[in-house]
Amino acid sequence: MPSRKKVRVAVIGCGVISELHLRCYAHNPDAEVVAVCDLLPERARFAAENRAPGARWTTDAAEIFAAPDVDAVSICTDHGSHAALACAALDAGKHVLCEKSLAVNARDLRKMLAAEAAHPELVAAGVFQHRFEPLPRVLHELVAEGAFGRLLTAAGSLYTFRGADYFRKDAWRGTKRREGGSALINQAIHYFDLLLWIAGGAESARALSANLAHEGVIETEDTIAVSLRLKNGGLASFVTTNAGIPQWESQLSFQGTAGSVEMRDEKLASLVVADKKAEAKVRARVEKALEAGAKLFPKGKDYYGTGHQAQIDDFVRAVRTGKRPRVTFSDAAETDAMVFAAYASAARG
Ligand SMILES: NC(=O)c1ccc[n+]([C@@H]2O[C@H](COP(=O)([O-])OP(=O)(O)OC[C@H]3O[C@@H](n4cnc5c(N)ncnc54)[C@H](O)[C@@H]3O)[C@@H](O)[C@H]2O)c1
């Protein structure tokens, strides 16, 4: 599309996360929200009247896909509906930004990747907003550059709590068909993604999972422990539960032959490089990145992180310029594929 025109966006799904998408598009001078859509008319109308003044609303996504004045869509619906909506949008010539998790199973993921490949003229981006935050970004670069030597191990965790009320509020949550899983694919997927992205990706996963405290409430896991073989030969582990005490506690650590680094609750917790001159340089890089990052972004809920604005700006830029977005469907799918590999392994016992 000509690069001077504003990107005309429709947001599909007007629940919790849509508010943040709408706020971020409102902050972007190169985008305007022209339509919102939700199966529930009251949600769609509320979003149009309160969060996207001037936008029209509908309950039928097909109307959005047929509309000539919509260039791009943000898909903010339950996981189980992402594949059908994203494929229909791309087939209708719309650029797509799809919330995590891209899909609920490997079959749907393949359909989305096929649609992405069939439409190289369109932007197909997956939301992993934490990849845009300064600390994960600089750690990704430093690990790739070998600042900590060859990576031996990486470990991650998210401990949080979701109660019965949370799962009963929306019918899709805690179901295999519409959420795809629970603790790993929903709350923990961001940290699982950062672990894999910073460590350079994984080639296989094994897992044990359980429903320890949500029996009769959800059919999916509330607790899972995953072991991963990294692409670089190292080994990694990730553990999460959404049945702990009410909190949101995350940890990611990376141990290489020349040093180690740890993030706790998205902040730098420790950084050690055997060569102290090299350590000073690495610390300076991290500090500079954090200073630059501190100036950015309005905040959503704290634990969503600060990256949505940066990711939506990146999506709008990609649509206007035809350049690759920072997280394509293919990029995001690497993490989804490991989620599904872990679930398949856990199901096999
Ligand atoms: N990136 C993040 O940090 C983050 C945070 C929260 C949620 N999310 C993701 O955002 C997505 C939505 O989560 P939520 O908490 O907002 O859910 P939600 O249940 O609050 O909202 C989803 C909305 O989508 C609507 N919907 C479902 N199918 C539809 C269709 N075919 N057409 C139109 N509307 C449809 C529902 O009626 C509902 O209002 C999920 O993928 C979730 O994982 C991401």
Question: What is the distance in A from the centroid of ligand 1 to the CA of 349?
Answer: 31
Can you give the pLDDT at residue 293? 81
Q: What is the CATH number of domain 134-300?
A: 3.30.360.10
Strands 151-161 and 235-241: parallel
Tokens standing for 83? 């594949």
DSSP assignment, residue 184?
I
Q: Is the CB of 193 within 6 Å of ligand 1?
A: no
Q: Is the CB of 16 within 6 Å of ligand 1?
A: yes
Q: Is the CB of 99 within 6 Å of ligand 1?
A: yes
Whose Cα sits closest to atom 36 in ligand 1? 13
Tokens standing for 148? 């900590």
Q: Is the CB of 248 within 6 Å of ligand 1?
A: no
Whole-number Å distance between alpha carbons of 241 and 160: 6
The answer to whether 52 and 77 are in contact (CB under 8 A) is: no
Residue 141, number of CB atoms within 10 A of its CB: 13
Decide: helix, strand or coil at residue 248. strand
Can you give the pLDDT at residue 4? 57
Q: Is the CB of 262 within 6 Å of ligand 1?
A: no
Can you give the pLDDT at residue 245? 87
Q: Is the CB of 21 within 6 Å of ligand 1?
A: no
Can you give the pLDDT at residue 294? 76
Burial 225-241 (b: 16+ CB within 10 A, else e): bbbbebebebebebbbb
Can you give the pLDDT at residue 298? 45
pLDDT by position in tens, the chain (length 349): 545 589 999 999 999 999 999 999 999 999 999 999 999 999 999 999 999 999 999 999 999 999 999 999 999 999 999 999 999 999 999 999 999 999 999 999 999 999 999 999 999 999 999 999 999 999 999 999 999 999 999 999 999 999 999 999 999 999 999 999 999 999 999 999 999 999 999 999 999 999 999 999 999 999 999 999 999 999 999 999 999 988 899 999 999 999 999 999 999 999 999 999 999 999 999 999 999 887 765 444 454 557 999 999 999 999 999 999 999 999 999 999 999 999 999 999 9
Bridge partners, 74 (sequence order): 11, 97
In the chain, % of residues over pLDDT 90: 93
Residue 190 sits at the vertex; the CA angle it makes with 70 and 257, to the nearest 5 degrees, is 135
Whose Cα sits closest to atom 7 in ligand 1? 17
Q: Is the CB of 26 within 6 Å of ligand 1?
A: no
Can you give the pLDDT at residue 225? 98
Q: How many helices (H) and strands (E) does the chain have?
A: 11, 13
Which is it for the CA torsion 137, 138, 143, 144, positive or negative? Answer: positive
Q: Which residue has the tokens 């590999």?
A: 341
Question: What is the distance in A from the centroid of ligand 1 to the CA of 15?
Answer: 5
Main-chain dihedrals φ then ψ at residue 248, nearest 5 degrees: -150, 95
Can you give the pLDDT at residue 267? 95
Residue 276, number of CB atoms within 10 A of its CB: 8
**Would you call 346 exposed, middle or buried from its count of C-beta atoms within 10 A (0-12, 13-18, 19+)?**
buried
Q: Edge-to-edge strands of the sheet including 56-58?
A: 56-58, 31-37, 7-12, 72-75, 95-98, 124-126
Question: What is the distance in A from the centroid of ligand 1 to the CA of 104?
Answer: 13
Q: Is the CB of 12 within 6 Å of ligand 1?
A: yes
Can you give the pLDDT at residue 304? 56
Residue ranges per structural domain of the chain: 7-128, 134-300
Q: Is the CB of 200 within 6 Å of ligand 1?
A: no
Whole-number Å distance between alpha carbons of 44 and 36: 6
Q: What is the CA radius of gyration of the chain?
A: 20
What's the fold here for domain 7-128? Answer: Rossmann fold (3.40.50)
What crossing angle do the helices spanning 79-91 and 106-118 adopt, rounded to 10°?
20
Beta strands in 77-180 (DSSP E): 95-98, 124-126, 151-161
Task: Tell me the per-residue pLDDT of 71-120, one tens digit each, with 9 for 90 and over.
Answer: 999 999 999 999 999 999 999 999 999 999 999 999 999 999 999 999 99
* 7-128 and 134-300, same CATH topology: no
Q: Is the CB of 61 within 6 Å of ligand 1?
A: yes
Burial 198-216 (b: 16+ CB within 10 A, else e): bbebbeebebebebebbee
Closest alpha carbon to 33 in 226, 262, 41, 19: 19
Global pTM reads 0.96
Task: Tell me the per-residue pLDDT of 281-305, one tens digit each, with 9 for 90 and over.
Answer: 999 999 999 998 877 654 444 545 5
Whose Cα sits closest to atom 5 in ligand 1? 17
**Would you call 48 exposed, middle or buried from its count of C-beta atoms within 10 A (0-12, 13-18, 19+)?**
buried
Whole-number Å distance between alpha carbons of 81 and 79: 6
